[in-house]
Every structure is written in C-alpha cells, then in structure tokens.
Amino acid sequence: MHPVRRQRLILVLFLVVFSSVAAGLVTYALRGNINLFFPPAEVAAGGAPVGQSIRVGGMVLEDSVQRSQDSLEVSFTLTDYEAQVPVVYAGILPDLFGEGQGAVAAGKLDENGVLQATEVLAKHDENYMPPEVAEALEKSGYDKKGQAR
C-alpha cells in the first residue's frame, strides 16, 4: 500500500479505536444512570434513594393486585424473584398490565419502603405468537422456549 494511504488508514483506525474507548469509558462511568429502573433486589438492599423520584421494574407478583372499590387506587407487588417492592398507584393502568407480567413503576419510596407511584408502564417480552399457538402451548404446559413451566 502507498505510504500516504497507509498513514491515512492508520489515522482512520486510530479515530475509530479512540472514539470507541472514549464512548466505552463514558458509558462505564454512567452505567448506573443508563439503567431505566432499579430491580427490587437493589431496592431491598438499600441501593435506591428514599424520597427521590426513581423507577422500579420487575414482574407483577401473582395475586398481588388489589383494586380499590371506590377509586382508581390500585396496589400490587413488583418482584424479581429475589426481593419484593410494594407499589401504590392511583391512575389508569396500561392495557398490557397484568399479574405475572413485567411492569415499570415510577415514583418515590416512602419510609415504609412502599413505592408511591405516579406512573406505571407495562413491559412486554420479545415473544410474539397467535392466540391459538399461545393456547396450545398453555395446554401442553410448555412455554415458548420449550421449557416446562
């Protein structure tokens, strides 16, 4: 290769490597802040600040959703199967919200460790299938990945 072109090639490679290292360091420094939410285990370990706006994400525990009779208030428990965080929320829940499904709740932790949520988002997984297929899988007792439930 012509020496001038080789020099330019080295310059280009240097540019790519240098910017990758810089971006890598920045994302490493910000690794906690890039996470959209805290998992319940981290909240239980005291990793989440009390009285500040945070988000907690996990699965909605089965049989934990309790709706108030006379208002929009609803309480449920988020879990990552290691720890649990109780959540209280007054507002309209997204359509996909349900027990055994993923959810992200935003709000402030009170002194009792209850998340007073101002917003609840539903989180869904990457599995897509027609309802009939889902029903058939349900009957056979296997999930999409072929593992027994």
Partner 1 sequence: MFSRIGAAQKGLYNHAVMWSFFHKLGSPPWLYDIAGSILRWLLPVTIMALLVGAVWGLLFTSPDFRQGNSYRIIYIHVPSAVVALAGYYVMAIAGAVSLIWRMKMADVAMKAAAPIGAALTFIALFTGALWGKPTWGTWWEWDARITSMLILLFLYLGVVALYEAFDNKEAAGRACAILSLVGMVNIPIIYKSVDWWYSLHQPASIKFSGESAIDSSMLYPLLLMIGAFYALFTCCLLMNMRAELVQRESRTAWVRKLVKQDGAH
134, containing H or E segment: helix 131-140
Instruction: Return the residues of window 103-142 that contact partner 1 according to CB under 8 A.
Output: 104, 119-135
41 near 62, Cβ under 8 Å? no
Q: Work out whether 148 is an interface residue with partner 1 (CB under 8 A).
A: no
Please tell me the number of Cα atoms within 13 Å of 94 on its side-chain side.
13
Q: Work out whether 34 is an interface residue with partner 1 (CB under 8 A).
A: yes
Nearest-angstrom CA–CA distance, 4 and 34: 41
Nearest-angstrom CA–CA distance, 121 and 31: 22
Q: Work out whether 45 is an interface residue with partner 1 (CB under 8 A).
A: no
Q: Work out whether 5 is an interface residue with partner 1 (CB under 8 A).
A: yes
Query: Which CB, 88 or 122, lies closer to partner 1?
Result: 122
Q: How near is the Cβ of 18 to partner 1 at its closest, in Å?
A: 9
143 near 136, Cβ under 8 Å? no
Q: How near is the Cβ of 14 to partner 1 at its closest, in Å?
A: 10
Stretch that binds partner 1, among 45-53, 64-72, 88-96, 110-118 (CB under 8 A): 88-96
Applying CB under 8 A, among 82, 96, 116, 142 the residue interacting with partner 1 is 96
Please provide residue 42's backbone torsions phi and psi, each rounded to the nearest 5 degrees. Answer: -70, -35
Reading the block at residue 40, the tokens are 């319940």
Using CB under 8 A as the criterion, which residues of the chain lie in contact with partner 1 when the complex forms?
A: 5, 8-9, 11-12, 15-16, 19-20, 22-24, 27, 31, 34-39, 57, 93-97, 101, 104, 119-135, 144-146
